[in-house]
């Protein structure tokens, strides 16, 4: 590795100081994220989604806008579990806000993945900043603290 960079997957050069996608094809164009929201959410969850979007917009240059006819967009859906792909993937892209995922913090977390952010604790330089105490982690959860490479 040269100048704070490392190789991942054998041939991809990454910057250890970055924790977001850098490939042009995975970022949201013009910092605008078209989105839709499932109509099946209860009013309380819709309010948490609204507050999560508002907070991201307050502290960034990203803007969410209701989808009109964009090809690439986020679908905030009531699917089982809490998950999202990292970065723009092309076409409709599901962000799952299932049962137990309805808090503003969890919604922000999943939307940040959709914007291109990985987990901080999987950064290649994480050991410079935190200590992982494996004895405190269930063995079946070790992959949650593995380095992203």
* CA gap 8, 25 in Å, rounded: 18
Task: Name the residues annotated as catalytic.
Answer: 110
Q: How far apart are CA 39 and CA 61, in angstroms?
A: 27
CA proximity to 18, closest of 5, 28, 30 = 5
Is 119 labeled as ligand-binding? yes
109 labeled part of a ligand binding site: yes
* 121 has binding-site annotation: no
Residues at the binding site are 109, 113, 119
Annotated binding-site residue numbers for Zn(2+): 109, 113, 119
């Amino acid at each position: 590795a040269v100048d704070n960079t490392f190789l991942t997957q054998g041939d991809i050069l990454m910057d250890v100081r970055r924790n977001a996608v850098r490939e042009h094809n995975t970022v949201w164009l013009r910092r605008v994220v078209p989105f839709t929201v499932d109509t099946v959410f209860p009013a309380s969850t819709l309010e948490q989604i609204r507050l999560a979007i508002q907070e991201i917009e307050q502290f960034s240059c990203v803007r969410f806008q209701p989808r009109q006819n964009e090809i690439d967009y986020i679908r905030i859906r009531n699917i089982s579990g809490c998950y999202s792909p990292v970065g723009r993937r092309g076409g409709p892209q599901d962000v799952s806000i299932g049962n137990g995922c309805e808090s503003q913090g969890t919604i922000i977390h999943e939307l940040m993945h959709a914007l291109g952010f990985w987990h901080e604790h999987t950064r290649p330089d994480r050991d410079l900043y935190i200590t992982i105490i494996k004895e405190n982690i269930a063995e079946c959860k070790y992959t949650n603290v593995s380095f992203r490479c």
